[in-house]
Chains A and B, each alone.
Chain A
Amino acid sequence: MGYAWNWSVLLSATPSGETTFLGWLLAGLQWTLGLSLAAWLVALIIGTLFGVLRTVPNRWLRGVATTYVEIFRNVPLLVQLFIWYFVLPELLPSTWGSAIKQSDPLMQQFIAAWLCLFCFTGARVCEQVRGGIESLPGGQRNAALALGLTLPQTYRQVLLPMAFRIIVPPLTSEFLNIFKNSAVASTIGLIELSRQAQQLVDYTAQPYEAFIAVTLLYALINVVVMLAMRWVEATTRFPGFVGGR
């Protein structure tokens, strides 16, 4: 095969001249990181909230949480993104809709992708949290309540601390997934990492270098996330804890 490898292309200037092609990739990396981390933060919060609601005694609250999960877990991610980006502005009152359409397009893309990712991932975190809570011995809740703790205190002090320790491994894979899933944002034009790779190919005609570089950057994210989660696991371990499931 006569492919002409040319790694120095990464360091050559882009057509606009302000930066190198590697600079493009790093700019894309920033969007991928910013989008994914912002979405992960919210996904953890609403996932925890709805995960708790799925296990409370009140069946109306449970119903609300179940509805949320069923909707966001079962509709394909790409469809959800198109709904947030294209359909939602049409459904809002027309003044809001046009305000959105006049705003900075980059912001529109980012916010739609962010909403989409945190709702989707939140539903998955919710199920992990519910599973973690349900895997605890049933007597734990009773023991906490019998001491006079309120239901919210019971969750905060007793059930969630244990549930989270148990679900660190599945949460790690959700955390990894959110970076991969953030690539859907390229379909609405957000110039994140995978979209930059595509651009690089278009401009340099060196697809192998571009995709190897991007793969390495995604792999780097993976390694960092794994290390971070391993650190979390180690620092929250306590004597006598048999981790995982």
Chain B
Amino acid sequence: MIVYDKVSKWYGSFQVLTECSTQVRRGEVVVICGPSGSGKSTLIKCANGLEPFQAGEITVDGISVGAPGTNLPKLRSRIGMVFQHFELFPHLSIMANLTIAQVKVLGRRPDEAAEKGLQLLDRVGLRALADKHPGQLSGGQQQRVAIARALAMDPICMLFDEPTSALDPEMINEVLDVMVELAREGMTMMCVSHEMGFARKVAHRVIFMDQGRIVEDAPTEEFFGAPRSERAQQFLSKILRH
């Protein structure tokens, strides 16, 4: 579904990604972890072309992301993305947040889009908030709406960039629960996350990044059982201590 082939990226002379290769198969859940600044966000933002890259190739569902002829808006509309800081559109009601891209991008009728929106709000348990604005919701609620907004586009896969790291601890689980359910339903997911409990529960593979390289890419049990690289071991011992 998502294939990275020797992807490299530079900011000026600073290399952020170095020959990253991996793939996420249909229905697979991959969790990416690694220290701050290791390039995790950059790696997943390359998958929908939010960040350009200078070498290598990424294909999503067989379509090359970096090729000049690619219709990026169209490709992006098929890839859901959830951000650390939710990024709901504050001037729009929750319902409008859910329908705007359905109408403007997919060309759905407003009533169709609203129905889909309600259905997804139901699913994340927030139907009652349809007429509120994002500023009136808690962080956890906003993130669940953001997930619903991405799902409203009927994506073929979902990208998550630290979806719970801006949340107060008591709100983390309500968001993870939605993600676990999504994973169990067979959604293809690429998640940057340090929630190792979540990774153990649903991830098929865990990728560990350090200094722009994919240092480890292993099935979940193997990764938690015996990480091969010393950096990953160090990282895990730090992160699992609390």
Contact = CB atoms under 8 A, between A and B. Distances in A.
Q: Do A and B bind each other?
A: yes
Interface of A: 137, 139-140, 142-150, 153, 157-158, 161-162, 165, 238-242
A147 B135 contact: no
Contacts of A139: 83-85, 87
B238 interface: no
A239 B92 CA distance: 10
A143 B81 CA distance: 8
Given A144-B89, A162-B91, 15 more contacts: A142-B83, A143-B146, A146-B48, A146-B76, A146-B79, A147-B105, A148-B73, A148-B76, A148-B101, A153-B105, A162-B90, A165-B91, A238-B91, A240-B90, A240-B133
A142 B90 contact: no
Secondary structure dominating the interface of A: helix
Interface string B13-33: 000000000000000000000
A142 to B, nearest CB: 5
**Which 5 A-B pairs have CB atoms at the shortest separation, nearest pair first?**
A240-B135, A148-B77, A143-B87, A147-B101, A146-B81
B134 interface: yes
Contact of B101 (A137, A149, A161, A241): A149
B100 interface: yes
Contacts of A239: 132-133, 135-136
B50 to A, nearest CB: 5
A126 to B, nearest CB: 22
Interface of B: 45, 48, 50, 73-74, 76-81, 83-85, 87-91, 100-101, 104-106, 132-136, 146, 149-150, 153
Nearest to A136: B90
A129 B89 CA distance: 18
Nearest to A137: B85
A161 B150 CA distance: 21
Contacts of A137: 85, 87
Contact of A241 (B50, B74, B81, B90): B90
Given A142-B50, A153-B104, A241-B90, A147 B149 contact: yes
A165 B92 CA distance: 13
Most A CB contacts (10 A, CB to CB) among B74, B84, B91, B100 go to: B91
Contacts of B84: 139
A138 to B, nearest CB: 9
A147 B153 contact: yes
A157 B105 contact: no
A148 B105 contact: yes
A149 B136 contact: no
Given A143-B83, A240-B135, A240-B136, A149 B73 contact: yes
Given A162-B90, A238-B133, A239-B136, A145 B50 contact: yes
B90 A238 contact: yes
29 contacts: A137-B85, A139-B84, A139-B87, A140-B89, A142-B81, A142-B87, A143-B81, A143-B83, A143-B87, A143-B89, A144-B89, A145-B50, A145-B76, A146-B50, A147-B76, A147-B100, A147-B150, A148-B73, A148-B77, A148-B101, A148-B105, A148-B106, A162-B91, A165-B91, A239-B133, A239-B135, A240-B134, A241-B91, A242-B135
B154 to A, nearest CB: 11
Contacts of A158: 89
Nearest to B134: A240
A42 to B, nearest CB: 26
A240 B88 CA distance: 13
B35 to A, nearest CB: 22
Nearest to A153: B104
A65 to B, nearest CB: 22
A112 B135 CA distance: 46
Contacts of A241: 90-91, 133, 135
A197 B135 CA distance: 51
A219 B143 CA distance: 49
Contacts of A147: 76-77, 100-101, 105, 149-150, 153
A149 B101 CA distance: 7
A144 to B, nearest CB: 7
